[in-house]
Amino acid sequence: MWIRILLTMTLLAAVARGQGNSIQYEMANLREDMRGLVQRVGELTMRVEQLERENAALRSGAENAAQAYVTVAQLNDAVADLNRIVKASKGDIMKEVNQKLTALAKQTNAAVESVAKGVAQRATVQTTFSDNYSQEGTSYTVQKGDTISSIAQKTGARTQDIINANKIGDPSRLQVGQTLFIPSAK
């Protein structure tokens, strides 16, 4: 509308000056200016439409985001529900833990008693040894299945002399490959 007013004022000014050719020239300039303005308005209209589409997309995204997030009240309700569940199951868990600990304690006590019985039934370990054996003799390598008494029979030595010469505290613990000093018979 303001363009029409501007055009009308320009025409009136040209007529008032009495310039015929000048009016045609001014009219051509006005038409060109009008085309430029129309083109610019078209560009602005397209930009406005583009902005409206982007705005609609942003609104849609904001609505989706609002649906994706929970409120503080919803979060508090969920935490309260979890607390109720934990309190309800806490007693059950404690009972189960107590039962398992009791069973474990019984197994441990049984194992300790078994070890204690085994220690009580073991032969006493000799800790003092006599030097009353022959200082001359031979060496013998323990074979699978050997015992002190079987070695004594094979070599003709006394069992106690073999024990004393080799300072064997527990004769039942010979090891295959172990080398023993076998004192000569006196």
Q: What is the pLDDT of residues 135-167, one digit of tens each?
A: 889 999 999 999 999 999 999 999 999 999 998
Whole-number pLDDT of residue 87: 78
- Whether residue 10 has pLDDT greater than 80: no
User: Are 184 and 136 spatial neighbours (Cβ–Cβ below 8 Å)?
Assistant: yes
Q: Provide DSSP, 42-89.
A: HHHHHHHHHHHHHHHHHHHHHHHHHHHSPPHHHHHHHHHHHHHHHHHH
Rounded Cα–Cα distance for residues 11 and 4 (Å)? 11
- Whether residue 86 has pLDDT greater than 60: yes
Average pLDDT over residues 23-51: 84
Q: What residues contact residue 125 under an 8 Å CB cut-off, 6+ apart?
A: 169, 170
User: What CATH code is assigned to 137-183?
Assistant: 3.10.350.10
Average pLDDT over residues 60-80: 77
Weakest mean pLDDT among 93-102, 156-165, 174-183 = 93-102
- Whether residue 13 has pLDDT greater than 70: no
Helix H or strand E segment including 157: none
